[in-house]
Chains A and B, each alone.
Chain A
Amino acid sequence: MQPPSMSLLRAFSPLCASLPIPPPVHCLNKSFSTNPSLLARKGKNKGPKPDQRIALLRYALQHPLTPRPLRFSRNRSLRHWTIHRAFQLHQANVRLAQTLSLEKQYRSMASACEALRLMDSDGLTEQEREQLGVKSAGAGPEKGEGGKLYRVAMEKKGIWEGVPIEYARAQVDTPPRAGWNHAWTR
């Protein structure tokens, strides 16, 4: 069995207090850093000159004119506000027109699909069958063949296959030099 360590006792013992205890490291440096502080080099060996491009970038970013003031007179600021509001209004109108156009297309699509759904294989709806006096019990859309067109039309399988790459063409400001390719052949 080992004897108990005396180190703790030695630390607090007044007998050992005369020994100089080294002060903590951070108290040595004024800058509260553990890094060694370098003295400025003098003379020729001043170190590498900073890259001129970096200096220019810093100069450009820390331009004395940043942020630049934009001062408007009273009338001018009122005019600016009016212009701004007018453009907001214009954009809202454009957006509304787009939405309406999309909605029209959607309604047209939905009503076409509904007409397709209500139609049997002879192209007759329930009402038209009554009007024409057709008594074909099996031709209803919910039974068998009648709804086939509708069923196939609603299929979403593979709709993303075969999307042509030309479809990704963005609109531009001026037409292509050759114009439309009328001479395209399969």
Chain B
Amino acid sequence: MNAGQRSARRLASRSAPSSESICTSCLLRLSIQPRRYASAAVAEVERPTLDPSSQHIPPVTASAPRKAYRILASPVISRPPVLTRQLTDFEKAFYLYQKRLNERLALPFSRYFYFKKANPADLEWKRKARGRKSAARDIGVYSGYGDEAWNDEVLVGDVTAEPDNMREALLRDAAGQTIIEAEKVTDAEPGSDAVAEDAAALEVARQDLESRIDRPMPRATEADEKNDVKSLNRKLDRSLYLLLRNKEGRWRFPEDRLHARENLHQAAERIIVQAGGLNMNTWVVGNHPIGHFQFEFPKLQIQDIPYQKPDVEGENKIVTYRREEYGEKVFFMKSRIMAGQADLAKNTFDDQDFQWLAKEEIAEKVTPKYWQSIKNMLVER
């Protein structure tokens, strides 16, 4: 590669002592000077323009402002689904059908392999199995043996296939509820003290068992019932995204312009902290954007961009560069939240409100053009 092929900007940046710490706009400013070397000889002629005295960056206000687009990074913070998806009715029915077919095909449960004969555990198992007719606990009362084995299809409207129902059946079995109901019918005469004592003791035993059983939490949480859009406990089987209402009152993902020499990943990490506070355990997934949004401003905006000169001390330390911005280009960065909650107390972008929303709820909040750009990168669940 000869010198003539190199762009003036690269030459300028190579000759400048602190080229690594100069921001984009400064570098461009340097590059505006016509320094296209056709050959080394021309370079020799032009060398005097690069002497240390001319290294001083001229104030931007002297020349016309640069035309540009505002480049923004925007972390799309999502909470991944915690729960598996809700099964469709067809899936539920099909799974029960398969389980009952399996019951017809499986070998009989070899009880004496698992329980010693006439052990309490064996007797308990026998008693429970008598009630449900088979070893399986989540398929309703059905036996794959005998004359009724053909009757393995449930009727329309049967609730055996409902996951809640199956869970309840398993719990009932674990609690040994049938034991208590069966032993309530004792041989003792009604009205005697023995019966009352027995009943009380059984009731205590039943409550003790109940308390020891770990009942799973319901799938619909309190936040679901209240539709608390600020809570991360809502819609646990969906992805939720953090949306902020900015100072213009528009709902957007958190966003900010790129600072001096930031890349998109670094900017996303900074914006998450600046927008939602420190107390979010987040992870910016990749280096590349997952979507972009372009918007032309109705009229151009003049923007002064401050730049801190690294080598200079005193009043000349901070210089401003003026830019004419014709629009904005937003690059969305995928990020995940693992714990914590957003907090706008220390928000540096003057955002007013935040919400955790699923995909279809975002569509109602944002502008149609914004939705067109983001809808493909958001997942259904």
Known: A112-B292, A171-B82, A175-B83. A138 touches B377 (CB 8 A): no
Q: Is the CB of B288 within 8 A of A144?
A: no
B288 touches A153 (CB 8 A): yes
Contact among A107, A136, A167 for B32, CB-based, below 8 A: A136
Q: Are B294 and A155 in contact (CB under 8 A)?
A: no
Find out whether the CB atom of A172 lies under 8 angstroms from the CB atom of B82.
Answer: yes
Please report the C-alpha to C-alpha distance between residue A179 and residue B338 in the assembled complex, in whole angstroms.
12
Binds A, one of B49-57, B64-72, B186-194: B64-72
Q: Does B91 contact A (CB under 8 A)?
A: yes
Q: Which residues of B contact A182 (CB under 8 A)?
A: 231-232, 340-341
User: Shortest distance in angstroms between B2's beta carbon and chain A's nearest beta carbon?
Assistant: 15
Tell me the B307-360 residues at the A interface (CB within 8 Å): 323, 326, 329, 331-332, 336, 338-341
The stretch among A6-14, A15-23, A31-39, A64-72 that forms the contact with chain B is: A64-72
Say how far A148's CB is from chain B's closest CB, in angstroms. 8
Contacts of A104 in B (CB 8 A): 376-377
Q: Which of B70, B94, B107, B219 contacts A123 (CB 8 A)?
A: B70
Q: Which chain B residues in 222-243 approach chain A with CB under 8 Å?
A: 231-233, 236-237
**Chain B residues, CB < 8 A from A101:** 379-380
Distance in Å from the Cβ of A162 to the closest Cβ of chain B?
8
Size of the chain A interface, CB-CB below 8 angstroms: 73
On chain B, the number of residues with a Cβ less than 8 Å from chain A's Cβ atoms is 79
Could you tell me which residues of chain A, from 113 to 140, have a CB within 8 Å of some CB in chain B? Answer: 113, 115-116, 119, 121-124, 128, 132-134, 136-139
Partner among A86, A136, A144, A176 whose Cβ is within 8 Å of the Cβ of B13: A144
> Do A159 and B287 have beta carbons less than 8 Å apart?
yes
A residues 70-121 near B (Cβ < 8 Å) are 70, 83, 86-87, 90, 97, 101, 104-105, 107-109, 111-113, 115-116, 119, 121
Q: Does B7 contact A (CB under 8 A)?
A: yes
| Complex Cα spacing A123 to B91, Å | 50
Chain A residues near B32: list those with CB within 8 A.
Answer: 136
Contact between B233 and A180, CB atoms less than 8 A apart: yes
Contact A112:B291 (CB < 8 A) given known A144-B7, A149-B263: yes
Smallest beta-carbon distance A56→chain B, Å: 4
A177 within 8 A of B: yes
Question: CB distance A53 to B376 under 8 Å?
Answer: no
Contacting residues, chain B, for A148 (C-beta < 8 A): 263
Min CB gap B100→A, angstroms: 11
Q: Are A174 and B338 in contact (CB under 8 A)?
A: no
Would B278 and A115 count as touching, CB distance under 8 A?
A: no
Within the complex, the shortest CB–CB distance from B264 to chain A, in Å, comes to: 6
Cβ of B332 and Cβ of A112 under 8 Å apart? yes
Closest A residue to B107 by beta carbon equals: A63
Asked whether, in the complex, the Cβ of A174 is within 8 Å of the Cβ of B294, the reply is: no
- Per-residue contact bits, chain B 284-317, to A (CB 8 Å; 1 contact, 0 not): 0011111110100000000000000000000000
Across the interface, do A184 and B67 meet the contact criterion of CB distance under 8 Å? no
Q: Which of B9, B279, B340 has the most CB of A within 10 A?
A: B9
CB of B59 within 8 Å of the partner chain: no
For B323, what are the chain A residues with a Cβ–Cβ distance below 8 Å?
A: 122
A123 to B85, CA, bound (A): 41
Query: Does any Cβ of B come within 8 Å of A152's Cβ?
Result: yes
- Is A2 part of the binding interface, using a Cβ–Cβ cutoff of 8 Å? no
- Rounded to whole Å, the gap between the CB of B36 and the closest CB of chain A is 8
A116-B292, A155-B287 given; A90·B340 CB < 8 A: no
Q: Which A153-186 residues have C-beta < 8 A from chain B?
A: 153-156, 159, 162-164, 166-167, 169, 171-177, 179-186
Q: Is B218 an interface position by the 8 A CB rule? A: yes
Q: Is the CB of B221 within 8 A of A179?
A: yes
Residues of B within 8 A of A60 (CB): 107-108, 110, 113
7 smallest A-B Cβ distances: which pairs?
A123-B69, A60-B110, A184-B339, A184-B340, A174-B216, A138-B9, A122-B68
B-to-A contact residues, CB < 8 Å: 7-10, 13, 24, 27-28, 31-32, 36, 66-71, 79, 81-84, 88, 90-91, 94, 97, 101, 104-108, 110, 112-113, 163, 167, 216-219, 221, 231-233, 236-237, 258, 263-265, 278-281, 283, 286-292, 294, 323, 326, 329, 331-332, 336, 338-341, 376-377, 379-380
Q: Which residues of A are interface residues toward B (Cβ below 8 A)? A: 53, 56-57, 59-61, 63, 65-68, 70, 83, 86-87, 90, 97, 101, 104-105, 107-109, 111-113, 115-116, 119, 121-124, 128, 132-134, 136-139, 143-145, 148-149, 152-156, 159, 162-164, 166-167, 169, 171-177, 179-186
